[in-house]
Structure 1
Amino acid sequence: MSLRFVLDPDLTPELRERIVALWTDVSNAGGAVGFVPPVTTDDVRTLAGPAFAAISDGPDRLLLGYAGDQLVAALIFTDNRFNLKAHWCVLKRVMVHPDTQGKGYGLALMREAERLGRELGLTALHVTLRGGLGLENFYQRLGYREVGRLPGALRVGPGDDRDEVLMWLDLVPATAAADRP
């Protein structure tokens, strides 16, 4: 089953709760989306509230992926809030429901983000990830390259510090970028 994508949905209270439920399930399955398991929906709401405000009031944008009527994927196009960085954005809270892993939904979500990034006139996408989970390989297969690493920047538990890995995807071919003034 392919995904149906919705960019900038109306963030109704019901949809907010569906996103919080997805975020909670992903977190409790070990997904690196801002938490270390176990978490509750109340824990997630503390981080989700400001994220929803930045989406509703701008400038951030939300992309959702549905399999039928089930919300199974999401990510946030996060504006850099700095004019000199307006040509690229950070993808945050990239998540696919753990029950749907292995169906290609993560690939589909990231390809849709890439397509939309180009459509929105962005020249690059940036994502940060938690080291130690093998996520670098997934993003490298999508064309992202590692552009930095902050050693031990993420403390996921006592004695368990992980690298924060910075990944970058150019949306403009290198020859076109070289031709820009």
Structure 2
Amino acid sequence: MTEIVTVTGPELVTYADELAALLVETVEEGASVGFLAPLARDDAAEWWRRRAASVETGGHQVWIAREDGRPAGTIGLARESLPNARHRAEVTKLMVRPSARGRGVGRALLGAVERSAPGQGLSLLVLDTETGSPAEALYRSAGWTECGSVPSYAMDPGGVLKATTFYYKMIGPLADRASQ
């Protein structure tokens, strides 16, 4: 059974080594999540530890999907601090362990973020993903709207420039008004 939990900054530090293994495995499998291969596990763990301060101050949130006590996936939400943008946030680093893919872990993580958004005063979520990646099917089937692509936006783990597609989803009352 998959359990989705939100983690605090100190908990993120505690999970850093396990999340580093997830990040390294994800990058090795070719997912474009901002890192180039080979990614050293120590570097990945340090990246997670550095996120803890922002999680503690509310700039970021992190959810972990646990299966049998072990992280099977993770997702983040980066809050905007500018006064005219506090209604929106960016979904970041949706990663699912390759052995856990195809079982709804990614959808459960995405759903957790979407359900938490209205209670935080968020009405618009945005994200980006490598054009043509398997993640695009998930986002489309979860009701996200494609709003464009940028060629050569980011490198894949092998260092090859790839296009990136951007998506958005209106949440809560804003979504209700938009559908009328």
TM-score grouping bracket, smaller chain normalisation:
0.7 to 0.9
Aligned to 1:74: 74
**3-state DSSP class of the match of 2:5?**
strand
Aligned to 1:90: 90
Q: How far did 1:39 drift?
A: 1.5
Aligned to 1:108: 108
Distance 1:62 1:175, change over 3 A: closer
Q: How far did 1:145 drift?
A: 0.8
Q: State how far apart, in whole Å, the 1-side matches of 2:122 and 2:63 are.
A: 16
**3-state DSSP class of the match of 2:162?**
strand
Structure 2 length as normaliser, TM-score? Answer: 0.86
Distance 1:116 1:151, change over 3 A: same
Deviations, residues 98-136 of structure 1 (Å, cap 9, x unaligned) = 111111111111111111112323112111111232422
Q: State how far apart, in whole Å, the 1-side matches of 2:141 and 2:69 are.
A: 29
* Larger relative contact order (CA 8 Å, sep ≥ 6): 2
Q: State how far apart, in whole Å, the 2-side matches of 1:70 and 1:99 are.
A: 12
Contact residue 30 and residue 36 of structure 1 kept, 8 A: no
Aligned to 1:6: 5
Q: Which runs of 4+ in 1 moved over 6 A?
A: none
Instruction: For structure 1, list consecutive stretches of 5 or more residues without a partner in the other structure.
Output: none
Q: State how far apart, in whole Å, the 2-side matches of 1:8 and 1:14 are.
A: 10
**3-state DSSP class of the match of 2:117?**
helix
Distance 1:72 1:174, change over 3 A: closer
Contact residue 132 and residue 162 of structure 1 kept, 8 A: no
Aligned length in residues: 177
Structure 1 length as normaliser, TM-score? Answer: 0.85
- 1:130 and 2:130 equivalent? yes
Contact residue 89 and residue 122 of structure 1 kept, 8 A: yes
**3-state DSSP class of the match of 1:32?**
coil
Aligned to 1:166: 166
* Identical pairs, percent: 21
Q: State how far apart, in whole Å, the 1-side matches of 2:19 and 2:49 are.
A: 11
Aligned to 2:51: 51
Contact residue 89 and residue 124 of structure 1 kept, 8 A: yes
Aligned to 1:42: 42
Opposite residue 145 of structure 1, the aligned amino acid is T
Q: How far did 1:72 drift?
A: 1.0
